[in-house]
């Protein structure tokens, strides 16, 4: 069973806690060890994005992830949490003073499915699909929650994906461009270091 489906809310809370502990250990310059039980339980390789938000405004503070299933889930959470905290080029590194004042959100990605050119944009479902663009060695990704939060339609979603890749907004129409979709399960703290809820997006075409 794919890791995107089997996760419970308590699993998600443990994973968010794991990502936070990895970041806090780095902030405090202390060693960090992942429990063997976590490694055993969350060993399936899946893509993960970690998003950090200010509280209570919920402005973006960092978002970095691993779109492809190349690491076990526990490792993908740790790596993406560290990258979102310290290596998002759009923001200064997270500080210890901010640590208990921000929200943690993780998106567990399902497998990528290529959308045939003739299926674009009609086969995209806003609120269900995240998108990945590949054109040569250029890649870009937008999570499913992005077009919902920004009220984009399917054409705008594709255009913004191209622009994120640094390309023209209609680049998805090029013969050498490939567009993939994926689903995601999104888990988010209700308040900093607090309870965790699953975010269910409203889907529309």
Q: How far apart are CA 147 and CA 150, in angstroms?
A: 5
Model confidence pLDDT, tens digit, residues 156-197: 999 999 999 999 999 999 999 999 999 999 999 999 999 999
Q: Does residue 165 sit in the same domain as residue 126? A: yes
Model confidence pLDDT, tens digit, residues 30-49: 999 999 999 999 999 999 99
Tally of CA atoms within 13 A in the half-sphere of 41 that contains its CB: 13
Q: Does residue 80 sit in the same domain as residue 106? A: yes
Q: Does residue 29 sit in the same domain as residue 68? A: yes
Q: Does residue 41 sit in the same domain as residue 83? A: yes
C-alpha distance from residue 17 to each of 44, 78, 81, 145 (Å): 18, 10, 10, 22
CATH assignment at residue 17: 3.30.700.20
Mean pLDDT of the region 82-102: 98
Q: Single out the residue of 180, 192, 164, 2 nearest to residue 105, CA to CA.
A: 192
- Cα radius of gyration rounded to whole Å, the chain: 17
Residue 1 — very low, low, confident or very high, per pLDDT cuts 50/70/90? very low
Q: Does residue 91 sit in the same domain as residue 62? A: yes
Residue 204 in any domain: the answer is: no
Mean pLDDT score across all residues of the chain:
95
Residue 205 in any domain: the answer is: no
Q: How far apart are CA 68 and CA 56, in angstroms?
A: 31
Residue 177 in any domain: the answer is: yes
Mean pLDDT of the region 2-23: 89
Its sign, for the CA torsion 15, 83, 34, 44, is positive
pTM of the model: 0.92
Q: Does residue 15 sit in the same domain as residue 93? A: yes
Q: Does residue 164 sit in the same domain as residue 71? A: no
Domain that holds residue 97: 3-110+184-199
Q: Does residue 9 sit in the same domain as residue 43? A: yes
CATH assignment at residue 140: 3.30.1490.150
SS3 content of the chain, % helix, strand, coil (to 5): 35, 30, 40
Q: Does residue 38 sit in the same domain as residue 100? A: yes
Judging by DSSP bridges, how do beta strands 60-66 and 184-189 pair with one another? Answer: unpaired
Model confidence pLDDT, tens digit, residues 103-157: 999 999 999 999 999 999 999 999 999 999 999 999 999 999 999 999 999 999 9
Judging by DSSP bridges, how do beta strands 196-199 and 113-115 pair with one another? Answer: unpaired
Residue 6 — very low, low, confident or very high, per pLDDT cuts 50/70/90? confident
- Supply the pLDDT for residue 204: 74
Q: Report the share of the chain in percent with pLDDT over 90.
A: 95
Residue 150: both structure tokens together: 């920004």
Domain count across the chain = 2
Provide the CA 53 distance to its chain's centre, in angstroms: 13
Mean pLDDT of the region 70-90: 98
Residue 68 in any domain: the answer is: yes
Residue 162: both structure tokens together: 């191209």
C-alpha distance from residue 14 to each of 53, 102, 115 (Å): 19, 17, 34
- Supply the pLDDT for residue 130: 97
């Amino acid at each position: 069973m794919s890791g995107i489906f089997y996760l419970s809310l308590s699993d998600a809370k443990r994973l968010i806690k794991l990502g936070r502990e990895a970041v806090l250990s780095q902030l405090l310059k202390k060693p960090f060890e992942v429990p063997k039980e976590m490694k055993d339980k969350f060993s399936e390789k899946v893509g993960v994005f970690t998003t950090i938000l200010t509280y209570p405004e919920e402005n973006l503070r960092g978002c970095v992830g691993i779109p492809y299933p190349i690491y076990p889930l526990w490792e993908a959470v740790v790596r993406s949490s560290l990258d979102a905290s310290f290596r998002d080029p759009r923001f200064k590194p997270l500080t210890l003073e901010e640590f208990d004042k921000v929200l943690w959100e993780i998106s567990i990605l399902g497998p990528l499915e290529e959308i045939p050119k003739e299926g674009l944009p009609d086969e995209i479902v806003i609120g269900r699909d995240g998108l990945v663009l590949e054109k040569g060695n250029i890649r870009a990704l937008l999570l499913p929650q992005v077009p919902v939060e920004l009220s984009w339609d399917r054409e705008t979603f594709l255009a913004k994906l191209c622009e994120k890749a640094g390309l023209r907004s209609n680049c998805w129409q090029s013969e050498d461009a490939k567009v993939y979709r994926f689903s995601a399960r999104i888990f988010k703290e209700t308040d900093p270091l607090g309870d965790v809820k699953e975010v269910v997006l409203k889907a529309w075409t």
